[in-house]
Chain A
Amino acid sequence: MTRTRSLASGFLTFSAAAVLALASAGGASAAPAPSDGKATTSVARVTVDAAGAADYWTPDRMQSAIPGDTLAGKALERGNRSNPGLVEKGKPATTKGTKGKPTIAQSENPVSHIGKVFFTLGGANYVCSGNAVSSKNGSTVATAGHCVNEGPGAYATNFIFVPAYENGAAPYGKWTAKALYAPKAWETNGDMTYDTGFAVMNPLNGKTLTSVVGGSGVAFNQARGLTYTSYGYPAAAPFNGETLKSCTGTATDDPNNPQFGSQGIPCDMTGGSSGGPWFMGIGSNGIQNSINSYGYNRNPVMYGPYWGSVIESTYNNAAAS
């Protein structure tokens, strides 16, 4: 049985007064450290509540925070300077740097035909990734089935595609959908074998989507075990959904659910990358042959459905509409 889970990390609002109250209750202090016999050594310390601080920093507060050098300037104005003669010199000391855990996913510059999709399902607003593909109507976007339809259940509403999204910017505009397509097996059963969907977009400023951003070729019924590069906008930690990421690897069958017929590549992209394109070979100029579909807990492999004849029919219907 599948389980859908959102990994979105939301910031909770937290008042400044509450932070101050926490600091008091938590034993904030600014007193000299215990004497070790050196009368001139003075160290101040304060204890803060980490959870409270994290909650306090809403996106609005982070955006409006004043640069710290403003405070430094005020300190200089007050003339609070140490007497150089009182600055102690000790033995040279260094502490080695610490590297964060590297991710498999690599950072990428925006690609004109790859973007984020936003939509509403069951009254909630969601975000996925998608890619403009070559089509007769010049307006078709490939994404995941679970990004257009509940699988099984209703289709999405309020569906838009934002190509080349980066940090809130939409350099090619926001394109609205006029129709959504998915395999019947996804629509009626949520069959993971067919987790692919296509959106047909309205023109924007009198132009079709692919005439503006280009469109990737698509391929179906290909050999298994190819090398792919997948792209997406992972939003759950350690990512933030604001920039494009990619993974490259050779596809292998899903050993846990072979009945899906899916293939996986090494990749730790998180929620938000769903629906992002898999291109055959290296880079974003290749032919699209799958999408980011699902993963397993604590297993850095991204799986994508095998694009066979049913998904090909779905594409054909969308591309010709």
Chain B
Amino acid sequence: MQRPPREPHPDEDRVGHVDLTQSPEEVLEYWTEERMREARPREIHLPEPATRPDDQD
């Protein structure tokens, strides 16, 4: 018998996700001391706010 269509969870349309398929061993092997040391900080730095004309001399 065919299953009835599943009711979508109310959160499904606003939450995304991914299941990672890598094995823990594979990931731990990837992170050598050198790679951890050289990993770059990931950051969001926004441009300085524009100076308003009133603030200028």
Contacts and interface: CB of A to CB of B under 8 A. Distances in A.
* A in complex with B: yes
Interface string A252-278: 000111000000000000111110000
Contacts of A287: none
A42 interface: no
B42 A271 contact: yes
- Interface of chain B, main secondary structure: mixed
A256 B49 contact: yes
Given A126-B41, A180-B18, A183-B14, A174 B48 contact: no
Interface residues of B, number: 31
A222 to B, nearest CB: 20
Contacts of A125: 35, 38-40
Interface residues of A, number: 71
Contacts of B44: 2-4, 146, 192, 195, 274, 293-295
B38 A317 contact: no
Contacts of B20: 155, 157, 159, 177-180
A270 B41 contact: yes
B15 interface: yes
Interface in B1-56: 11, 13-20, 22, 24, 27-28, 30-31, 33, 35-49
B42 A147 contact: yes
Contacts of A295: 43-46
Interface in A41-80: 59
Contact of B28 (A174, A180, A234, A273): A174
A296 B14 contact: no
B41 to A, nearest CB: 3
Interface in A276-321: 293-299, 310, 313-314, 316-318, 321
A317 B11 contact: yes
A272 B41 contact: yes
Nearest to B25: A176
Contacts of A149: 16
B11 A6 contact: no
Interface in A178-233: 178-188, 192, 195, 202, 204
Contacts of A147: 42
A181 B45 contact: no
Given A7-B41, A160-B27, A296 B17 contact: no
Contact of B14 (A176, A184, A234): A184
A149 B20 CA distance: 13
Contacts of A204: 24
A298 B48 CA distance: 7
Contacts of B46: 2-3, 256-257, 294-297
A176 B27 contact: yes
Nearest to B11: A313
B47 A3 contact: yes
Contacts of A270: 41, 43
Interface of B: 11, 13-20, 22, 24, 27-28, 30-31, 33, 35-49
10 tightest CB-CB pairs across the interface, nearest first?
A: A271-B41, A271-B43, A272-B41, A187-B16, A294-B44, A126-B42, A313-B11, A127-B39, A155-B18, A176-B24
